[in-house]
Chains A and B, each alone.
Chain A
Amino acid sequence: MATLEQVPDSTEALRRALTQVDPARKRKDVVMRVLVYLAFALAILPLVSLIWSVLVRGLGRFDGYFLLHSMRNVFGGMDAGGAYHAILGTVLITGWATLISVPIGLLVAIYLVEYGTGALARAVTFFVDVMTGIPSIVAGLFAFSLFYLLVGPDSRSGIVGAVALAVLMVPVVIRSSEEMLRLVPNELREASLALGVPKWLTIVRVVLRTAVAGLTTGVMIAIARVIGETAPLIITVGASNSINNNVFSGNMMTLPVFVYNQYGSGLVACTPGDASCIPTINYDRAWTAALTLILLVMLLNLVARGVSRLFSPKTRS
């Protein structure tokens, strides 16, 4: 450069070159920074809007009456009716799904961590990943077809829905349990085996006991994942306005399907001047049921986090 001969100028230029960024590069950096921050804001916007509208529109009817009454003999724009039957159905069906999927999921995780080697283990790992991608409605079709072949065309009942949810739940349980079992330090296993404890007892008494908090957390998060599933339940369980606490026979109502059905019922055509008729009653119930469902999911997530914090093994490092 021409400035090389003028020594004071050159140090000045060098200093500027080292401390200042080329304005074009700086501009680009700022623009991208703004875009990245905007992307985050863009994601938070729907979350805030959704939670806000569920709260505003759902809180009005969210009370003991709503939680403890079914929709039996409720019609038109009556200011009555609740989601008790739906809450009961959701709890029963999700409970059965948990009962089916947790033992299977846990055993598969144990297989993968403690026994699995070779092609079979690789295949199981791969297909568990693939299984997490099964569309929920296909799981519903599967459960429906299975029971159609087992008990005939009139098979709609809670247990069919539970099987469908279990198909969706198993891969989630396997994934989280596998992660938790891998966290158990190998020294514990070796110490137990060195004392002459057989392997299965080592797994049950040492490995599972060490990981129990994490396993519980994983299962609860899996429950939270499937408790809001709607599509498979529409196919397999149907809907009902009355309380049905028998998962082995008859249609049942569940909270997500309740939300969908109430929304689908639409506005009520009230006769003018009828003060006891609320035109938007179905929408109101849908929002309140949505609020109940979200609260249930959040509760499960919170309890899961609490469990993992309270009961995780205190490791001395």
Chain B
Amino acid sequence: MASPTLTSTPHPAAEPTPPGASRAKDRGMDRGFRYLSIASGVLILLVLAAVAAFLVVRALPALKAGDAISQDVGWIGAGQSLWTVIGPLVFGTVLAAIAALAMAVPVAIGIALFISHYAPRRLANGLGYLVDLLAAIPSVVYGLWGVMVLAPVLQPVWDFLVRWLGWIPLFAGDSNGNASNPPRVLLTAALVLAVMILPIITAVSREVFLQTPRLHEEAALALGATRWELVRMAVLPFARSGIVSAAMLGLGRALGETMAVLMVLSPGMLYSFKLLVASQQQTIAANIAAKFADANAMGVSALIATGLALFVITLVVNMAARAIVARRKDFSGAN
């Protein structure tokens, strides 16, 4: 096939300008473009620094106010300082995220194994796309579904848990020994969070499982391993650090997720492990979204201070996860 570009006219600018001038101009453009792209790389670092800096600047008034803050901010009780409210919020945030993680990780590993090693080859891609669809659904829709569809279904399950497993502190009932009704409790919110973080954990673990060296798998099969023994002896040991980092990425998501908790959970400000009783815990993100609209200047400052705490927590978790992934890349043996 004849290529039409062969007969194209020469560069229009080349004719009138002498070659030297054009080259100088090109060099200038080259340098300009190079600096522009480097500058935007630096901009990314600056934005991240700015996020931290602006949050600190705006949080300072509340951090410095001490006990006097309770006079200005309605949701901080008399005699309390900012620190006594950040504590329960951090506790609630971490508790919800860990509960979500505990439910999501085993299922996500199962799904990833299903797609990488169990499903028929032809179906695997389509099924993987189905799981990715979960990530495409907006969080507010998850919240709406969680509170209006999922919660009523869960009520009998939570009642059952309280009745038979109530001796475990996590599943303790309220003062009457019942699960709260309606079940706007932490475990319901955590379950919605678990569904929301499934796709990311699945996607990362699936990638890692697929990287298992072919030779390891074939060696296991040649020794007469069953499918599960292949997974346990070749795939899982190879993927261990990948699973850990996938779980931490999921943890980062769960820590910062707002809407599902905001819409599902009935908030409280206690250090309480009761997952099935309403009005016990609250997360930082949901607290900010709930209180921000009516907050006065000091209230906004206090909320931003809690946001700063959330930012630091998620930053640490994400950096740890990324560091594990990066370390893995060098020594994985797959590349």
Cross-chain contact A235 with B137 (CB below 8 angstroms)? no
If A53-B149, A104-B43 touch, whether A230 touches B140 (CB-CB below 8 Å) is yes
Report the Cα distance A38→B109, complex, angstroms: 12
Is B229 part of the contact surface with A, judged by Cβ < 8 Å?
A: yes
Cross-chain contact B142 with A130 (CB below 8 angstroms)? no
Cross-chain contact A135 with B50 (CB below 8 angstroms)? no
**A contact residues, total (Cβ < 8 Å):** 87
CB distance from A57 to the nearest CB of B (A): 8
Of residues 35 through 52 on chain B, the ones whose CB sits less than 8 Å from some CB of chain A are: 36-45, 47-48, 50-51
Cross-chain contact A50 with B198 (CB below 8 angstroms)? no
Report the Cα distance A127→B95, complex, angstroms: 27
**What residues on A are CB-neighbors of B118 within 8 Å?**
33, 36-37
CB distance from B91 to the nearest CB of A (A): 17
Is B252 part of the contact surface with A, judged by Cβ < 8 Å?
A: yes
If A39-B111, A39-B114, A111-B40 touch, whether A137 touches B137 (CB-CB below 8 Å) is no
Of residues 128 through 176 on chain B, the ones whose CB sits less than 8 Å from some CB of chain A are: 130-131, 133-134, 136-145, 147-150
Of residues 82 through 130 on chain A, the ones whose CB sits less than 8 Å from some CB of chain B are: 104, 107-108, 110-112, 114-116, 120-121, 123-124, 126-130
If A39-B106, A44-B130, A135-B255 touch, whether A141 touches B226 (CB-CB below 8 Å) is no
Is A234 part of the contact surface with B, judged by Cβ < 8 Å?
A: yes
Q: Give the total number of A-B pairs whose CB atoms are below 8 A apart.
A: 263
Q: A127-B48, A297-B136 are in contact. List 6 more A-B contacts (CB 8 A).
A: A33-B228, A46-B195, A50-B149, A142-B51, A142-B55, A198-B26
* Interface, chain A (partner B; CB < 8 A): 21, 25-26, 28-29, 32-33, 35-40, 42-44, 46-47, 49-50, 53-54, 104, 107-108, 110-112, 114-116, 120-121, 123-124, 126-139, 141-142, 145-146, 148-149, 153, 167, 170, 174, 198-201, 203, 224, 227-231, 234-235, 238, 256-257, 259-260, 263, 283, 286-287, 290, 293-294, 297-298, 301
* Interface, chain B (partner A; CB < 8 A): 26-27, 29-30, 32-34, 36-45, 47-48, 50-51, 54-55, 57-58, 106-111, 113-115, 118-119, 127, 130-131, 133-134, 136-145, 147-150, 195, 198, 202, 224, 226-229, 231, 249, 252-253, 255-259, 262-263, 285, 288-289, 292-293, 297, 303-304, 307, 310-311, 314-315, 317-319, 321-322, 326
